[in-house]
Structure 1
Amino acid sequence: MTSTGTAPAPAGLVAALDIGGTKIAGALVDDEGRIRLRARRATPAAEDGGNVMAAVAEVLDDLRSSPLWAEVRGVGIGSAGPVDRAAGAVSPVNIPGWRGYPLRERVGERVGGLPVELIGDGAAIAAAEHWVGAARGSSDALCMVVSTGVGGGLVLGGRVRQGSTGNAGHIGHISVDLDGDPCPCGARGCVEGLARGPAIARRALENGWRPDPGADASAVAVAAAARAGHPAAVASFARAGRALAASIAAVAALVEIEVAVIGGGVAGAGEVLFAPLREALPQYATLSFTRGLRVVPALTGPDAGLIGAAAAALGRLEA
């Protein structure tokens, strides 16, 4: 029988899965958040749901083949969403073959009845940063990932707050431009459409930036151009920073966070992103209880999803 999220695994090792549209990562993680063993497969996101699950099974089988598996006491899954915690199901926007897919049950079958915890990838990021990252010691925090999409999770009162379905903190779909471009979610002007990596690259291209011959037109390349002072590249990151500032300020006004932690590939641009974000934030965080809000880079990097999934399996989300 698989778990519904109430019984933490005993201290020791847990298995963690981080499932997204491009990769399925797995790890064995100890009760101090240290990764002891890794496995990985590409996500066959364009294929049917059975083939995606087969890739998950291969990752689990790699972990199970280790002698360390004998110490594993539970499994945590951080998945792209939306997720349905109660049903243990997932419907990732970027994995069309999974709609209402019973992921917790399928993983439970694969691991011989060990308890399995399922959380959304935003909650996993929040759990990781609150446990061992930049939000450690903070009672109230927003933890974000800015990459090919924009997602996040909330820590309130010292606990990761997932919401009734497991999707709380999904900041990427706060609208910051009421007359903005349509978003695949159905709304307009979502922060994801302004701050995600492909949007930054598209805006720079539209305004005259061009990648070097043979290079990709990526946000990484735009960041390099911005550091060199290219005006279209600088302006594109400034626009993304303002969009993020507006959304972060909205969250702060609603739930009184003290810190916003930002990770993901776009955040890897460093001050190219953080400088305009911090400059714009006081224009939006104007209320007395939001003015002290700090914005800091994440510390758990690409392992955030794995560490957060492990935190769920160890019962740390309720700590």
Structure 2
Amino acid sequence: MQTDLSAALDIGGTKIAGALVDAHGSMIVRAARPTPADQDGAAVMRAVAEVVRELAAAPEWARVAAVGIGSAGPVDASAGTVSPVNIPGWRDFPLVAGVRALVGERPVTLVGDGVAMTAAEHWQGAARGHDNALCMVVSTGVGGGLVLNGRLHPGPTGNAGHIGHISVDLDGDPCPCGGRGCVERIASGPNIARRALADGWLPGPDGDTSAAAVAAAARAGDRVAVRSFERAAQALAAGIAATATLVEIDIAVIGGGVAGAGDILFAPLRRALRSYATLSFVADLTVVPAQMGTDAGVVGAAAAAQQSRLDAFAPLP
């Protein structure tokens, strides 16, 4: 029997998405449920089980060789557990064991959502063709993952590349992670808005204080809004340059809601990067927007499962 599909789960605080994904990254069966994040861990697992059972009801399920999970974190792939910040009922929750009970003998691979996004962008998106890449999600938080020597590099626990908690301001604000001056504390959407408000930015009549509203104000020429994005861009540039210097990536891919600001973010980011990435072996580092959008989590979880099973991504036509 042909076994050319991966089952993939993308677990976040709002939605649990699943798909059967073929060897070329196409999703041939999809399923989704809202995440009951305000309920206990058992209720969340029941929602996961409903997604898996819907996928398993498809005739194509017999072709599934492996299962991949990309989850909001922290995750611990070595233990098979997850403790997502936005799912309070899951703390050291044995997610891999729960999914294994649903999928039989198929191998199950767990990675963080930033690593899953990285796998997707490397397989099918903006990092395709690059052997050494950093891919980032800049949204409510800042996460990421690494591709090194042509392979996804999740690390022992599935969290490698978590650039959001590199410190780029030694005397900066305390971060909820316990550190100080982290990239996330400066560049995430809520912190872009927080800084703008603290510096005197006034929201419009609708009272919208999101990063998207700050971006709209910046496009309209509001200097306080512009400066808040410039500060975020500087923090991202410092973190990207540090990563590039350490492991010699040649491209950084940025997705997530904040990347939707377009040139309001990317123009100052590229300027700042020229100031931080100055050594010869990182001077040609490029920064580009992500391409995979909302499909990144599911496609990336499938890619991680394929690499785990086959020790390489499936070849593309």
Q: Could you state the TM-score of these two structures normalised by the residue count of structure 1?
A: 0.92
Correspondence for 2:24 among 18, 23, 32: 32
Partner Cα separation in structure 1 for residue 29 and residue 193 of structure 2: 35
Cα shift at 1:245: 0.2
CA deviation after TM superposition for structure 1 residue 216, in Å: 2.7
2:311 partner letter: E
C-alpha distance in 2 between matches for 1:300 and 1:215: 31
The secondary structure found in structure 1 opposite 2:51 is: helix
Q: Which residue of 2 aligns with 1:175?
A: 167
Q: Which residue of 2 aligns with 1:273?
A: 265
- Render the CA deviation track for 1:18-71: whole Å, top value 9, x for unaligned: 112222111121110012232222222232211111121122233233333333
1:179–1:188: 8 Å Cα contact kept in structure 2? Answer: yes
* Corresponding position of 1:7: none
Which residue of structure 2 lines up, in the alignment, with residue 4 of structure 1? none
Say whether 1:88 aligns with 2:80.
Answer: yes
Question: Which residue in the other structure is 1:213 paired with?
Answer: 205
Equivalent position amino acid for 1:54 in 2: R
- Aligned-residue identity in percent: 69
Unaligned runs of 5+ in 2: 313-317
Q: Which runs of 4+ in 1 moved over 4 A?
A: none
Q: Verify: 1:228 aligned to 2:220, yes or no.
A: yes
Instruction: Give the residue type in structure 2 aligned to 1:139.
Output: D
Match of 2:315 in 1: none
2:97 corresponds in structure 1 to: 105
What's the CA shift string for 1:127-172, capped at 9, x where partnerless?
Answer: 1111111111111111111011100001111111111222111100
Residues 11 and 31, structure 1, Cα contact 8 Å, conserved in 2: no
Contact in 2 for aligned 1:143/1:152 (Cα 8 Å): yes
* 1:242-287 alpha-carbon deviations (Å, 9 max, x no partner): 0000000000111111011111111111111000100111111121
Of 301, 311, 316, which aligns to 1:318?
A: 311
Q: Which residue of 2 aligns with 1:124?
A: 116
Contact 2:114 2:144 in 1 (8 A): yes
Aligned partner (choices 25, 33, 48) of residue 40 of structure 2: 48
Aligned residue among 277, 296, 299 for 1:285:
277
Amino acid in structure 1 at the alignment position of 2:65? R
Matched, 1:157 2:149: yes
The farther-off stretch of 260-269 and 211-220 is 211-220
Paired residues, number: 310
Distance in 2, Cα, partners of 1:292 & 1:186: 34
Amino acid at match of 1:318: D
Q: Which amino acid aligns with 1:63?
A: L
Asked if structure 2 preserves the Cα contact closer than 8 Å seen for 1:27 and 1:35, the reply is yes
Question: Taking structure 2 as the reference length, what is the TM-score of the superposition?
Answer: 0.93
Code of the aligned partner of 2:253:
V
Closer/same/farther in 2, CA of residues 170 and 179 from structure 1, 3 Å limit: same
1:11 is displaced (CA, Å) by 4.8
Partner SS for 1:315: helix
Q: In structure 2, the residue corresponding to 1:110 is in which secondary structure? A: helix
Q: 2:100, 2:204 → 1: CA distance?
A: 48
| More off after superposition, 109-118 vs 255-264 | 109-118
Choose the corresponding residue for 1:138, options 130, 136, 155: 130
> Offset at 1:15?
1.4
Shift of residue 214, structure 1, vs aligned partner = 2.8
